[in-house]
Amino acid sequence: MTDPDLAPGLATPLRDYLAHLRVERGLSANTLAAYRRDLGRYARHLATLGRSRLDQVAEADVTAYVGVLRRGEDGAAALSASSTARALAAVRGWHRFAHAEGLTAGDPAAEVASPSALRRLPYALSVDETSRLLEAAGAGEGPVPLRDRALLELLYSTGGRISEVVGLDVDDVTGGAGTLRLRGKGDKERVVPVGSYAREAVDAYLVRARTPLAAAGRGTPALFLNTRGARLSRQSAWAVLQAAADRAGLTQHVSPHTLRHSFATHLLSGGADVRVVQELLGHASVTTTQIYTMVTPDTLREVYAAAHPRALG
């Protein structure tokens, strides 16, 4: 059903488009309801502008609607940037359909930009916090602290995903070349260097800890073992990190991805090229890596204070 107060020049093409989505695109009832809600709001916006047919709509009308959504100027709830982008996608679809059906001479929504959602920088530990975390992982006696220190050192040294690191076998790290082969998403492999701290931690684990842990199991090539002699799971590795973060007194939530973010951030802060970091992280596109190059407010203030002649007074 469409709004009975809409002019036929809006109501009929809206009804036809919803039927197209239901029959030809096979959208679910819930998705159709969302389209009906979003496009009904848009059609009422057009009506308030005096538009009674789709071929009267101009690009400026669609652009104005983006502002209406963001500010709630039509009396409905104001939407976030992401929700506005979703509603605008429905509008684009309707206009594209109308143009393809010959109802309009052009597509007034084709060039209207979606609002940018604020991208948060990934949380990264400072170098000092990372050192405290790694020290805390190895606190205590016995094979488990040696394993935990080696695990976290390797995560931070390589920037590997938790699944990649717990998936390593002993043969993957005993080549002696100072590099490691990680198997990432889609079974894509990449070779990454391993720092001296991580190599020393892994060597200590292999010499003094892995054999006692393996004695409880049935034999496995896995590098990192649990206390039953089986491969350490992702969940257990996560618990290792959480326990180390608690012992280190870190107040921010720390996840395995935090170490990955920290690896990338510290490399770029040290002058590494973003494309090198892309290869090390195993990102398919450099765009994914570039989030780490976004300038933070603290960096802006530091550069401004150092460079602007009237910054300090």
Determine which helix (DSSP H) or strand (DSSP E) holds 245, and give its type and residue range. helix 234-248
If one compares 221 and 277, the residue with the highest pLDDT of the two is 221
Q: In 3-state terms, what secondary structure has residue 264?
A: helix
For 95, the token pair is: 């206009």
Please state, in angstroms and rounded to a whole number, the distance separating the CA atoms of residues 185 and 303: 38
Residue pLDDT, tens place only, 74-121: 888 888 888 888 899 999 999 999 999 999 999 999 888 877 644 555
Q: Exactly one of 257, 275, 301, 304 is catalytic; which is it? A: 257
pLDDT at 209: 96
Highest mean pLDDT among 69-73, 78-82, 128-132, 250-254: 128-132
Query: Contact 277/266 with Cβ under 8 angstroms?
Result: no
Residue pLDDT, tens place only, 259-283: 888 888 888 878 787 778 788 888 7
Residue with tokens 């970091």: 277
Instruction: Fold for 127-299, please state it.
Output: hpI Integrase; Chain A (1.10.443)
Residue pLDDT, tens place only, 239-250: 999 999 999 999
Q: Exactly one of 161, 199, 210, 261 is catalytic; which is it? A: 161
Q: Known catalytic residue: 41?
A: no
pLDDT at 299: 52
Task: Measure CA 305 to chain center.
Answer: 32
Indicate if the pLDDT at residue 122 is higher than 70: no
Q: Known catalytic residue: 253?
A: no
Q: Exactly one of 132, 199, 231, 260 is catalytic; which is it? A: 260
pLDDT category at 187 given cuts 50, 70, 90 is confident
Angle between helices 59-71 and 29-48 (to 10 degrees): 110
Indicate if the pLDDT at residue 56 is higher than 70: yes
Q: Known catalytic residue: 20?
A: no
Please state, in angstroms and rounded to a whole number, the distance separating the CA atoms of residues 177 and 190: 15
Please state, in angstroms and rounded to a whole number, the distance separating the CA atoms of residues 141 and 144: 8
pLDDT at 72: 86
Please state, in angstroms and rounded to a whole number, the distance separating the CA atoms of residues 213 and 232: 11
Question: What single-letter amino acid sits at 35?
Answer: Y
pLDDT at 239: 92
If one compares 299 and 206, the residue with the highest pLDDT of the two is 206
Please state, in angstroms and rounded to a whole number, the distance separating the CA atoms of residues 305 and 87: 42
Q: Exactly one of 71, 185, 208, 301 is catalytic; which is it? A: 185
Please state, in angstroms and rounded to a whole number, the distance separating the CA atoms of residues 10 and 3: 10
pLDDT at 305: 63
| 92 Cβ contact partners less than 8 Å away, ≥ 6 residues apart | 109, 110, 112
Task: Measure CA 179 to chain center.
Answer: 27
Please state, in angstroms and rounded to a whole number, the distance separating the CA atoms of residues 28 and 18: 11
- Cα separations in angstroms, 119 against 122, 266, 287, 296: 9, 20, 13, 11
pLDDT category at 197 given cuts 50, 70, 90 is very high
Determine which helix (DSSP H) or strand (DSSP E) holds 189, and give its type and residue range. strand 189-193
Q: Known catalytic residue: 188?
A: no
pLDDT at 202: 94
Q: Known catalytic residue: 292?
A: yes
* DSSP string across 133-160: HHHHHT-SSSHHHHHHHHHHHHHHHH--
pLDDT at 119: 52
pLDDT at 280: 82
Domain extent listing, the chain: 8-100, 127-299
